[in-house]
Structure 1
C-alpha cells in the first residue's frame, strides 16, 4: 500500500508529503477525524515515507524495501503503537513511552510513537505526555490519533500539528467496494456506502455483519409503525419491549438518528439525494407527511444528546423511554 491507495484524504496527504519533501517533519501531530477514514493507515504510510530506502519522486514509499516491509508487518523496532487498555490510556503506558523515547532508533532515521484513541488518555497520562511533547528528541515523531480534539489538553493541542481527516463520500466508498469485492451487487454497494456514513472501515465491516442488518431490519420495521399521536395504553410495554430487544446500543442509536434525519430531509428539503436508508425510501416519504418539523428536530436533538449520555453510563431505560415519548409526540400532548 502507499499514499495513493488512501481514499479521500488528498489534503492531509499533501501536507504530509510536503513535509517529507522539505525535510520539515514535526515532532508531534494530531490526526483527527471519524472512525474508519484512514488515520492509522496514513500514519504508517507517513512513517514509511520518512524512512524508505527507495522513496520515489512523489515522496511515496516504495513498499518493497526492508524498511517498508517491516513497517507493513508492524515488526519494526522503531515503531510503537499505544492503544487503550480497558478503554483508557493510562499513565503507566505513557511512562513506558517516556523511557523508550530516551533510546535512539535501532534501524531508522526516525522512530515513531502512534497513540491510537488518544482522546481516551486519562488526565494523568495527558500531563505525563505533555512533558515529552514539550521537549522531544529530534529523532522522535509522536502521532496522536483521535476522533475529536475536545478531550485533549489545550497545552498538548497547541504543541502539535493538526491534520484533519474528512469523511469519505458515499460515491467514493461505493466505487472502492465494487473494485475490491467480487460479485458485489451495485444496489448492495450503494446501501452499504450510505450506511457507512463516510467511514471506509465501517463499510467493510458491514459487508459481513449479518447481525447488524437483521437488527436494522427489525428496528426500522418498528420505527415505521410509530407516528405522532399514535399511542395507546400499552405504550410503556412497547417501550420495555424495544429496550429489552436492543443490542449493540451505539449502532442502534445511529440507525434511529439516520432514520429521522432521512425523514427530515424529505420533509424539509423534498430531496432524496442524501437519503441514507435508500432501501426504505417509499416508507420514509410516506412517514414524512405525518411528522411536524418541530417534533423531528426535537427527536434528533435528543438522540444526539443520548450519544453523550451513554458515554457517562446514564440509565439506558430512562433516556430511551423519553426518546420513545418524543417519537410519538406525547410530550407535546402533555404540555
Structure 2
C-alpha cells in the first residue's frame, strides 16, 4: 500500500516522506504508538517508497517490487517477530551476520523488528552493537507499542516516529469492508482508535468471548456468592495476561455504559447497543458512586496485572468487591 493510501498517521508519514525526498534518512527508526494503528503498514510502505521504480520516493503499491515488499519476499527486506514471547538471541545474531552483507538488488538492506520491546537484555545488547556502528547500506525499523521496555541506549540511537490513535471515522473507513454491517458500529466503538483491536474483536472466537463475558457480568449478584468466582474462572481460562487485559478493557466499557445509562437513559451514548436491555436492567442495581468506583477498581486491576501482580488474587479481589455491592 502506497503512502497516499494509508488512512491516518499523516504526521508520521510526512516525516518519512521528507526524509526520502531530502535524502536525509536515519539508519535506525523507532516507530512507537498504540497497537493496531498502522505502524507495520507504514514501515512496509516506507520500504516500498525507497525501492519503487514506478513512483520513486512514494511507492505505487502495484508494481512487482511493491508487491514483493508487501509479501515480505523482497530480497533486501528482512521482517522479524519474536519467536514465542521473546526474541531469541540467535535471531539477533542472524541479523548481525546479514547486516554486513551488501544489498542484493537495491541500495538499502532493511531490517524490520516488529514488537521490538520484546527483546531480552542479551538480545537488546547484541542489537545495540549493530546500531552503534551500522553498515552504511543498512536501515533498521524497530516497531514497539511499549518502548519503555527498550534499552535507553537503543532509543537514544533511533529517530522516533510517533503514531497516534485513529479517529472514529478513520477506523470506520478502514474496517467497513472487512466486517459485517451488523457488527460495524460496535467494533468501531470497541476499537479505542486501533484498527487491530477492532478486527481482533470481530473475529468469531473473540466476539463469542465478549458475549460470554457480558453474560457473566449480568449474573454478578450479592445473593449469588459464587458468581464472582465463576467470572474469575472464565477469565483465567485464557492463560495469557494480555488476553485477560483485553477482556478487562471490555469490563471498563461495561461500567461506562451502565453509568451513562444511569445518568441519561439515552441510547445514543451506549457503545454496546447489542446489550442495551441488559445494560438498562443492570444499571438499576448500582449507584453512580458504585459504577465510578468499579471503573477505577478495574483500571487498578489492569495496572496491577501489567506490573506482574498476582493474577488470580487481583481478579478475585476486584469481582468480589463488585459482587458484594450488587
The answer to whether the 8 Å contact 2:219/2:227 transfers is no
CA distances 1:54-94 after superposition (whole Å, capped 9, x unpaired): 225xx420234443232122111211112111200133221
Distance 1:271 1:136 in 2: 58
Task: Tell me whether 215-224 or 304-313 shows the greater mean CA deviation.
Answer: 304-313
Distance 1:65 1:321 in 2: 55
- Which sections of structure 2, spanning at least 5 residues, go unmatched? 239-243
Deviation at 1:300, TM superposition (A): 3.2
Task: Tell me whether 15-24 or 268-277 shows the greater mean CA deviation.
Answer: 268-277
Paired residue for 2:241?
none
Task: Tell me whether 151-160 or 216-225 shows the greater mean CA deviation.
Answer: 216-225
Give the TM-score of the pair, scaled to structure 1.
0.84
Task: Tell me whether 270-279 or 162-171 shows the greater mean CA deviation.
Answer: 270-279
Q: Does the C-alpha gap of structure 1 residues 266 and 67 become closer, same or farther in structure 2, counting only changes over 3 Å?
A: same
Give the TM-score of the pair, scaled to structure 2.
0.86
Distance 1:84 1:169 in 2: 29
RMSD: 2.8
Distance 1:158 1:266 in 2: 47
Distance 1:292 1:240 in 2: 23
Match of 1:220 among 198, 209, 214: 214
Paired residue for 2:96?
98
Task: Tell me whether 75-84 or 211-220 shows the greater mean CA deviation.
Answer: 211-220
Deviation at 1:239, TM superposition (A): 2.5
Distance 1:32 1:268 in 2: 37
Deviation at 1:120, TM superposition (A): 0.6
Distance 2:119 2:49 in 1: 28
Paired residue for 2:222?
231
1:93-172 matches, within 5 Å, as: 93-172=91-170
Task: Tell me whether 169-178 or 264-273 shows the greater mean CA deviation.
Answer: 264-273
Task: Tell me whether 38-47 or 283-292 shows the greater mean CA deviation.
Answer: 283-292
Distance 2:160 2:262 in 1: 38
1:147-296 matches, within 5 Å, as: 147-178=145-176, 180-181=177-178, 184-185=180-181, 187-207=182-202, 209-226=203-220, 231-232=222-223, 234-235=224-225, 237-246=226-235, 247-248=237-238, 249-264=244-259, 275-281=270-276, 283-284=278-279, 287-288=282-283, 291-292=286-287, 295-296=290-291
